Structure 1
Amino acid sequence: MVYVISKDGHPLMPTMRYGKVRRMLKSGLAKVISRCPFTIQLLYETTDITQDISLGVDAGSKDIGLSATTNLKVLFEAKVILRNDIVELISTRREHRHARRNRKTRHRKPRFDNRTRHEGWLAPSVRQKAESHITMVQKAHKILPVSHIKVETASFDIQKIKNPNISGTNYQNGEQTDFWNVREYVLWRDGHVCQCCKGKSKDKILNVHHIESRKTGGDSPNNLITLCEYCHKQYHLGKIKLPKTIHRGMSFRDAAFMGITRWAIYEKLKELYSDVNLTYGYITKNTRIENSLPKDHHIDARCISSNPKAESDGTVYFYKKVRCHNRQIHKSTINKGGIRKRNQAPYEVHGFRLYDKVTVNSVEAFVFGRRLDGRFAIRMLDGTKINEQLSYKKIKLLEMRKNYICERRTPLLIGASPDVPVAI
């Protein structure tokens, strides 16, 4: 499907008359403004006759589903992979900042309590994902004359998930009620027994160990386990491994994200567009089951758009939000002689940037890694390796990198199920 923009920049209805599009481009009546999704802009005046288009948005903390439909046809479907490295990057930055200030300004009076947060403040990791939802809706509006938007949101009762029988005033009493701190609760929960050796080491000193790094896992009880001091030291020395039965408990990050951002996303969309409505997951699930549709983000978005029976050709656009710039100038470790190795790669290597879209043997892929000697790592959007040491002379630049890299996928065969895509 070819998306069409009018001469004055307004989106028109897309077309499948590829022959006419080819002739218009050849005769200079239109120009290409985007390769993926393929979009042209007319260079002559035309009427702005459009149809009623509904955009369904399946909001999520890791993936977003989008589907723009009319009563009869699916015009655009996309799945977006969001960034999940913000917490780790900010935690690393905090560690470096703390170490730097400890070295250079250790005599300065602490100034950690002199900052205020404006109304509507969101944590950077949450704000980035919320903004990605808004950006993708705006991208859909640029290529289609969307009439109304419907967003699926969800609210989760985390305490109810932990304890299905909770009710009344018990909501005010968490699992750590009557305990001095988290450490005391974890020791009591584990029966004051090492969960690795079960007391066989005879070491009576108990420590609380982070199953996942504290930097990214935090200090919640489901990330803590009781170990004796002997097992704790041996584990960090790499001499023993924890039993396979020890793993982090259920994480509620995704549920917390949806609870925080559902109104932020809705209110922002209301500011930008006039016709925005909310729906809920149980309605989407019921619609999907009634129409015997497979479970996927873009399929859910189609159900959210209120046109689950709209005909689709199986084309799905996969987007991935990628990092724009590495702000850490030097490596954290100092080489021999006090030399700091740079942590930032050159902006261009042999004329290519990271995440540039290229073609290799008629296959469209992306530059995922570059070496100064000219050997590049070429992969598909989902990480499928094409060639990890391909010479830059054997690839051709198709499109320069953007914040959102895009890949178009269609069914393998005519008549194949739309949920079996292949990248082209």
Structure 2
Amino acid sequence: MSNFVLVIDTNRKPLNPCTPGVARSLLKSGKAKVFRRFPFTIVLNKAVDDKPIPMQLKLDPGSKVTGIALLQGEKVVFGAEIIHRGQQIKDALESRRALRRGRRNRKTRYRQPRFLNRNRPDGWLAPSLQHRVETILTWVNRLRRYTPIEGISQELVRFDLQHIENPEISGIEYQQGTLFGYEVREYLLAKWSRKCAYCGKENVLLQIEHIHPKAKGGTNRISNLCLACEPCNIKKGTQDIEAFLKKKPDVLKRVLAQAKRPLKDAAAVNSTRWALFNRLKQTGLPVKVASGGKTKFNRCRLELPKTHWLDAACVGNVEQLDVKTIQPLLIKAMGHGTRQMCGTDKYGFPIRHRSRTQIHQGFQTGDIVKAVVTSGKKIGTYIGRVLCRASGSFDIATKDGRVQGISHKYCQAIHRKDGYAYSW
């Protein structure tokens, strides 16, 4: 079961998505043509006056992968996962910084120091984080062009920190509710790295433990909770942590310090999500938000597997889900290459010169092509990203490996370069 096919009419008006079988029938009968390969979209040969059913776009932003789901009522008709390249951007900037620092140390030339260009605007994000916001917005706008989206749901924060830090803020009903338990457990699992705080065991059943025992006045605040395996929890009992870890001063120091420490990288993640939220509001669509604990509560209640795109489908208020697809589109951010005209080695010394010409025989490196070779030693059909050369002899990166020396005469472009690689 693959994603539904997106449909637009001849005036580029978004219509209701259709099943792959219906799309094949329309294409075979000549009533529609392929408009775009990724996401697969067909365009009808006539205008349609029917009003399409409104759809909800749901997002689950993550540090490395972002889940996307399109819902038509309770029916999930499209799923995708965007694989970000924030770490690649960070590594490239660090490499550039090292090369520039090396040139300064060698004193190859002198440039007057400039400081006016160091002012950062309000809301500035590091390039590796800004890339994630821009990539998600690119796909939100792209899907809006092909589907009748009337609202966006976003997982704004991973945990409902306000209720976790102060359980009494909304009364006893929320404190004792099922959802609050999910918020606390997910927060503690992330904070203590899914390990016992006292012995460090992994892949065992963990229990919520009060660092300062409740029997001696300890509270349920998140700063007084940790995770412990059953033997350690029973052994500690109602002892003070100082007495329990008297012979392990290093463990005692680590546990007390980690109990007060917030989640790692929480500031960066939260700033990215708020920046994304503010940019989504600028689209003019209503934006609903929810926490990650609520997302997991919905997913576990509906007995769905743990995937990024299903997490996106479970964002917000969800009663039931009719999952019509089990094969999401995997979108990997690849970038658009480099603008450097001089290629360097790992030490920063020039070793080659790049040509300004990027299009050869009508193809550009990064295009997805289909090559049907009918003669020679490489007879067969190859589909993948192409690496172009001025000689007209191309390389094609397929899922089975790289095929070299394919003539441009056999190639047919099926998707032009847009900075992403696609798979299922």
Give the TM-score, by structure 1 length: 0.64
Distance 2:350 2:114 in 1: 31
Determine the structure 2 residue equivalent to 1:52: 54
Asked if the contact 2:79/2:325 (under 8 Å) is kept, the reply is no
1:149 lines up with 2:152 in the alignment: yes
1:137 lines up with 2:167 in the alignment: no
Distance 1:162 1:344 in 2: 52
1:85 partner SS: helix
Candidates 84, 88, 92, aligned match of 1:89: 92
Distance 2:308 2:346 in 1: 45
Distance 1:68 1:334 in 2: 44
In structure 1, what residue type is equivalent to 2:136? H
Distance 2:53 2:350 in 1: 63
Distance 2:287 2:270 in 1: 19
Candidates 191, 213, 225, aligned match of 1:161: 191
Residue deviations 1:38-66 (CA, integer Å, cap 9, x gap): 22233433214121322111101211111
Determine the structure 2 residue equivalent to 1:303: 314
Distance 1:276 1:15 in 2: 26
Asked if the contact 1:284/1:304 (under 8 Å) is kept, the reply is yes
Change (3 A) 1:298 1:344: farther
1:272 partner SS: coil
Asked if the contact 1:56/1:150 (under 8 Å) is kept, the reply is yes
Change (3 A) 1:363 1:341: closer
Change (3 A) 1:5 1:339: closer
In structure 1, what residue type is equivalent to 2:98? E
1:332 lines up with 2:347 in the alignment: no
1:285 lines up with 2:296 in the alignment: yes
Determine the structure 2 residue equivalent to 1:387: 402
Change (3 A) 1:313 1:256: same
- Matched residue count: 319
In structure 2, what residue type is equivalent to 1:264? A
Asked if the contact 2:58/2:313 (under 8 Å) is kept, the reply is yes
**Higher helix proportion, which one?**
2
Asked if the contact 1:69/1:76 (under 8 Å) is kept, the reply is yes
Determine the structure 2 residue equivalent to 1:15: 18
Structure 1 unaligned residues grouped into runs of 5+: 171-189, 191-250, 410-424
Tell me the CA shift for residue 342 of structure 1: 2.1
In structure 1, what residue type is equivalent to 2:46? Y
Tell me the CA shift for residue 284 of structure 1: 0.9
Candidates 324, 335, 340, aligned match of 1:312: 324
Change (3 A) 1:369 1:64: farther
2:323 partner SS: coil
Tell me the CA shift for residue 402 of structure 1: 1.3
Candidates 63, 73, 76, aligned match of 1:74: 76
In structure 2, what residue type is equivalent to 1:75? V
Distance 1:316 1:364 in 2: 19
% identity of equivalent residues: 27
1:321 lines up with 2:336 in the alignment: no
1:150 partner SS: strand
Tell me the CA shift for residue 302 of structure 1: 1.6
Distance 1:359 1:79 in 2: 24
Change (3 A) 1:114 1:364: closer
1:63 lines up with 2:65 in the alignment: yes
1:357 lines up with 2:373 in the alignment: no
Q: Which moved more, 1:297-306 or 1:120-129?
A: 297-306
Determine the structure 2 residue equivalent to 1:270: 281
Determine the structure 2 residue equivalent to 1:258: 269
Asked if the contact 2:369/2:383 (under 8 Å) is kept, the reply is yes
Change (3 A) 1:100 1:310: same
Distance 1:339 1:37 in 2: 40
Tell me the CA shift for residue 395 of structure 1: 5.2
2:344 partner SS: strand
In structure 1, what residue type is equivalent to 2:23? Y
Tell me the CA shift for residue 357 of structure 1: 1.2
Tell me the CA shift for residue 131 of structure 1: 0.9
2:48 partner SS: coil
Residue deviations 1:257-305 (CA, integer Å, cap 9, x gap): 3222111111111111331111111111111111111111111112126
Residue deviations 1:92-138 (CA, integer Å, cap 9, x gap): 222333444564543x4422465311111111111111111111211
Residue deviations 1:290-342 (CA, integer Å, cap 9, x gap): 1111111111112126365213132311112112131222233499xx97422
Asked if the contact 1:155/1:258 (under 8 Å) is kept, the reply is no
In structure 1, what residue type is equivalent to 2:27? R
Determine the structure 1 residue equivalent to 2:358: 347
1:397 lines up with 2:400 in the alignment: no
Q: Which moved more, 1:388-397 or 1:351-360?
A: 388-397
Distance 1:87 1:344 in 2: 26
In structure 2, what residue type is equivalent to 1:22? L
Residue deviations 1:190-227 (CA, integer Å, cap 9, x gap): 9xxxxxxxxxxxxxxxxxxxxxxxxxxxxxxxxxxxxx
Determine the structure 2 residue equivalent to 1:237: none
Asked if the contact 1:71/1:307 (under 8 Å) is kept, the reply is no
In structure 2, what residue type is equivalent to 1:330? C
Distance 1:308 1:257 in 2: 33
RMSD: 3.8
Asked if the contact 1:2/1:18 (under 8 Å) is kept, the reply is yes
Change (3 A) 1:296 1:153: same
Determine the structure 1 residue equivalent to 2:180: none
Change (3 A) 1:288 1:333: closer
Distance 1:132 1:126 in 2: 10
Distance 2:25 2:119 in 1: 58
Change (3 A) 1:370 1:109: closer
